[in-house]
Structures are given as structure tokens and as C-alpha cells.
Amino acid sequence: MGNTPSTAAQQCLTNALGGKQALLAHQNTPLYQAIHVKPYNLDIPVNPAAVTYPETAEHIAGIVKCASTHKLKVQPRCGGHSYANYGIGGTDGAIVVDMKNFQQFSMDKTTWKATIGGGTLLRDVTKRLHDNGKRAMAHGTCPQVGIGGHATIGGLGPTSRMWGSALDHVEEVQVVLADSSIVRASEKENSDVFFALKGAAASFGIITEFKVRTQAEPGESVLYTYSITAGDSKAKANAFKKWQALISDPTLSRKFASQFILSPLGVIITGTYFGPQSEFNALNISSRLPHKDESVVVLKDWLGVVGHWAEDVALEIGGGIQSNFYAKSLAYTEDDIIPDTAVDKMFAYVDSVDKGTLLWFVIWDLEGGAINDVAPDATAYGHRDALFYHQAYAVNLFGKVDDKIRNFLAGFNKIITDSLPGHDLGAYAGYVDRALGEEGQSKYWTGNLPRLQQIKAKVDPQDIFHNPQSVRLAK
């Protein structure tokens, strides 16, 4: 059948979409790759059998039924930001369910619970919550990412230390399952499915709407940046040691968010304190970090705060632009503090190694706090004990990612893992890394993987919701 759906499958999809030809694209559709497939990571070409644009849950149920009948795989796409293009199937010949038409929104002003369509981008989540009672929820900083993937894989962001991850806000969903049923799932109803959706949803179903708890927007926030623009590897290593000591302080306020960003431009330590400047000043952060260019901005406008995050240097590179890139991540617990000798080695390596590209960065993100309050087996999300993560990211502006670039990032991670023998550092499923192969499943979901495999065997025995690193059926 190749990558073009058979005439029968095509007819089935057309019927599922109520006969609306505009809601279906396939190989013979003009500009199929450029307009409909739109791979985010140009390094990983994927050729789906069809891209669908359903408008109702019933449309999605029909698409899933067609896939089952014609033995095709299905993957949902919201923002389309998968690092390995799993939102476009991840394997050739899959059906993509693009969620852009699912934009419903409502706010219950007695409970302050919001209903959010599964196709909403984070920038619109922020705006709609703000416009409906100055509410907010925890989520990442990249405005073009969609809530459909983000709030089902983890969804970490600056407010997560106070409020939990994005998926911790989710209290109920409407989801289309592999048997094409449309069900509600929560802790009370279809609780096994709900467990799986909160961390591994792409393997289990397509969420059409989320019901989430919200928080009142912080009234005043302090945005801080400390820059070390030049400096040798020793100065950068020293800055990292100070930052790591600061963030691993168990008494550190949950209102404090922080990132350490290493790039060709130098080192930036940046973040937000969700409270008045007097409280931030009392933390005496500047005395605990290297004395370099310091910038502190106080904002009372929440949309301004969130907008400021999106201007981050790394996001400008990695935000909405398609490119050839590769990324690797590590999850660190409080027991995985990088030893000083390894920190020195890490920064010396970055200064001396041939990276194969001029465009790269490493971001360490402080997490912990409220994310760690939830039991490790309460949701599929596998890293409840993570204190911080790093994401190393390299772009080739001139073509495919080559071995030199891959080896740079792999070598960087190896210095850290070699310095912590016996520590099994996980990886974040939001920074999907194809090089991990099927080992990725245990890196992403750790101890929750066996339960996920059992649920998978029960609710998706045909493995319809499939990508190269999705949860497999229990044997």
C-alpha cells in the first residue's frame, strides 16, 4: 500500500470526516509535505499516509475506526513540536490527527476550573485564562507548543515548583480510545486510562478536551538575569557550581524558578521569582551567584511576564522554526548532583571539542517543589523525584545533523553519567531522543512502564496509537 492510503482507506477517512474533502490531505494533495506534514525536525523525514483535520470527537472516532479496519497507525498532533516528529506519526504510513480545530474554552467561575480544547496552543491558553478571571496554570515557555502533547507528557515550566506540572492541573479529559469510543476519564472514571494519559497519552488515545484546575495569577513577579558573556571554562564551571549549590538547597523558596543556559555567547543564569521584589531581595540570590552583569525587572502584568519568557535566547533558536537538529536530555534527582571534578571536565570539553555547528545550547532547568509532592505511581509521568533537567540541543543550519554534532552531545552527556556511576539518570519524554531506541521507554516512564504496558494491552491491543518509542503491549 506504500504511504498512500488505499482507495478504500481514503474513502473511509472521507466518510469519517463527514465527506468534507478539505479536512483530509494525503500524498496526492498539492504541497502535502510543506503545508500538511510540516516536520518540525527537518533531520527526520516522515511520510504519513494522511493528515486529517477533524472538527468533532465523532470525526476522530471515525478516523480511529478507519485506522483499525485498514491496519494503520495513528498519532495526534497539536503544536507539532515533537523533537522526532512523533506528532506526524514518527513512522511512515501513519494517520496524523491534527487537533487545530479543537479550540473550545470555558471557565466555571465558581470552581475556577477551565475547559480547554485539545488543540489549543500555550500562548492561547495563557491569554484565555487571563481573559477569564486572571487565572493561570503551570506550563512551559514556548508559546507555539500545543497543550495536547504538553499536558500529557509532563509540561514543565517556571511556575511548576509552585503549582506542579501542566499535567498535575488536569482533573478530567474527554478522550477517543483505540476502540473508537469517546469516554470521560478522571480519577473516578476510567482511572487506569487517566493514569496513562497523564504522562504517556500518545500511546493511549486522543484527548479532545481538558478540564483543569487554575490558579490566580501572581500579582508581581521579578525577572532576573545574570550574564557571564566571556570568561574561560574555569569561570563558567565556577558559575555552574554556585548555581547547582543554590538550586539544591532544600530550603529554597518554591516561588523561585531558575535556568542555567550555556551557549556560544557565554553563560546566562535567568529566571523568575513569583512575588514582590522585597521578598526576592531577602533571598539574597545575587550573593550566591557569580558577580557579573545583573538585570532585575519587576513586572506586575502577568501576560508581560509570560511574554518575556518567550523572548529567551534558546527559545528564539528552538521555538517555532523548522530546522535540522538533535537534542539529548538528562533528569537529575537530589542524589545526582554533578561532582565538581565532572563540572570542570564538562566545561573544558565544551571549550575544546569540535561541535560540528555554531548553533548549540545546553539548558539546565530547576524543577522539584510541587512536582515532587505527587506520588511516583500516581500518574504515568516518570520523574517525580527530578530536581532539575538538562537539555542539550544542536542545530545544523546547512543540512543534516552529522556524527560530529551527535558525538558532541553524546560526549557531553557521557561526562556526566560517567561521573555518577550506578545512578540511572532518566530522560524527559518531552525532549524525545530517537537515539535511545526502545530503551527510551524505561528512561521516560521509569518504574511506571510495566503498568503502562498492561493498560496498553487492555485498551489498545492492536497498538493503533503508535510511534517509534511509544509504550508497547505487555507480553
d(CA 277, CA 296): 9
Give the confidence band of 318 by pLDDT, cuts at 50, 70, 90: low
Class of 7-98 per CATH? alpha beta
Give the confidence band of 230 by pLDDT, cuts at 50, 70, 90: low
Same fold, 105-217+445-459 and 221-438: no
Mean pLDDT of 6-12: 92
pLDDT(313) > 80: no
Which amino acid would we find at residue 380? A
d(CA 192, CA 167): 15
- H or E segment at 260? strand 256-263
Highest-scoring range by mean pLDDT, 36-45, 283-292, 304-313: 36-45
Determine the length of the chain.
475
Give the confidence band of 41 by pLDDT, cuts at 50, 70, 90: very high
pLDDT(19) > 80: yes
Q: Which CATH number fits domain 105-217+445-459: 3.30.465.10, 3.30.420.40, 3.10.20.600, 3.40.109.10?
A: 3.30.465.10
pLDDT(121) > 70: yes
Give the confidence band of 335 by pLDDT, cuts at 50, 70, 90: very high
**CA distances (Å), origin 226, targets 145, 223, 254, 297, 356:** 27, 11, 20, 12, 28
CA 291 from centre of chain = 33
- Average pLDDT of the chain is 94
pLDDT(4) > 70: no
Q: In what order do the strands lie in the sheet with 182-186?
A: 105-108, 113-117, 206-213, 170-176, 182-186
Helix axes 122-131, 302-309, angle to 10 degrees: 170
Q: Which residues contact 29 (CB under 8 A, 6 or more apart)?
A: 36
Give the confidence band of 319 by pLDDT, cuts at 50, 70, 90: low
d(CA 9, CA 78): 23
pTM of the model: 0.95
pLDDT(314) > 70: no
CA 348 from centre of chain = 30
Mean pLDDT of 322-330: 93
pLDDT in tens, 81-117: 999 999 999 889 999 999 999 999 999 999 999 999 9
Where along the chain do its domains lie? 7-98, 105-217+445-459, 221-438
pLDDT in tens, 177-196: 999 999 999 999 999 999 99
pLDDT of residue 178: 98
pLDDT of residue 320: 66
Q: Provide the 10 A C-beta neighbour count for residue 9.
A: 21
pLDDT of residue 322: 87
Judge contact between 229 and 293, C-beta under 8 A. Answer: yes
Class of 221-438 per CATH? alpha beta
Judge contact between 261 and 166, C-beta under 8 A. Answer: no
Q: For residue 383, what is its C-alpha cell?
A: 520523574
